[in-house]
Amino acid sequence: MLRLEDVTVRFGGLTALKDVSFAMGAGEILGLVGPNGAGKTTLFNTISGLVRPKTGRILFAEREIGRLPLHARARLGLGRTFQIPQPMHHLTVRENLTVAQVFGAGKADAARVDEILEVMELSQHAERNAATELALQELKRLEIAKALATNPKLLLLDEVLAGLESKAKRRFVDKLRELHERYKLAIVIVEHDIETISTLCSRAVVLNFGQMIADGTPAEVFRNPAVVESYTGAADA
């Protein structure tokens, strides 16, 4: 489904990602882990198209997307949420989903919009102004709802659980699992919480200073001494 080969990203003199390579299949839930500043968001930005890599290839469903602009990747089925929710301004929640649907999935389907609203528990907020009238949790759900409206095959979730306390987190994780099964989505999720990764993900990839230092099941990865060091090292700093 998604494959990166030797992706390197540089910003001026700073190397944000170096020779990152991994692959994931259609049904997987992949956890992307690493201390702050490791390059996780940059990796997402590169995959979704906000950033162009210096070298390397990005293949989505066996198709090279490195040259495609953002919107084209979205139309191919690559959905993405932002860490700080970015709703579309001046539009209601429903309109947010409709626009995503029309431009991302190809045509309007009001029934499906209603369905997504229900699944993401946003039905009662449907007519509210997305940018000004929603609380943080609702905004996060909207982020995912928007991405869902584009009929994605792969969902990139950037720290969707940040800022939630543990009960809300668990509910969200259950919701993600529900989405994964219901819509047959592949998911890549950036997360700090080890427990979440272990329970939700079938695989985990660890980044540190822009480089991959581990790739395997969560259990394997969190036993890896290099990974442990990157976490505790970061905690000291």
Partner 1 sequence: MRSLPALLILAVAIAVPIAFGGNSYVMGLMVSGLIVAGVALAWALLGNLGGMVSFGHAAFFGVGAYTSAILSAKFGLPVPLALLAGACGAALCSVVMLPALRLSGPYFALAILAYAHIFKILATEATSITGGSAGFQRFPPLPTILGLDLSSRVGSYGLLVILVAICAAIYLAVKRSHVGTALRAMAESEDATRVVGVNATLLKAWMLLLSAFITGLFGAMNAHIINFLEPDYAFSASWSILPIIAAIFGGYRTILGPVAGAVLIYLFDQIVAKELLPVGHEILLGVLLAGMILIAPNGLFGMFQRKTAKGAAHAAA
Residues 198-237 that bind partner 1 (CB under 8 A): none
**In the complex, minimum distance from the CB of residue 108 to partner 1, in angstroms, rounded to a whole number:** 7
Residues 49-88 that bind partner 1 (CB under 8 A): 50, 69-72, 74-75, 79-80, 82, 86-88
The DSSP result for 167-224, as a single string, is: HHHHHHHHHHHHHHHHHT-EEEEE---HHHHHHH-SEEEEEETTEEEEEE-HHHHHH-
117 binding partner 1? (CB under 8 A):
no
Residue 50 or 226: the one with the smaller Cβ distance to partner 1 is 50
Quote the strand ranges of the chain, DSSP E: 2-11, 14-24, 29-33, 55-60, 63-64, 78-80, 154-158, 186-190, 203-208, 211-216
x/- mask, partner 1, residues 166-205, rule CB under 8 A, reads ----------------------------------------
Contacts of 146 (CB under 8 A, 6+ apart): 81, 87, 88, 96, 97, 100
**In the complex, minimum distance from the CB of residue 114 to partner 1, in angstroms, rounded to a whole number:** 17
Residues forming contacts to partner 1 in the complex (CB under 8 A) are: 48, 50, 69-72, 74-75, 79-80, 82, 86-91, 95-96, 98-100, 102-105, 108, 131, 146-147, 149-150
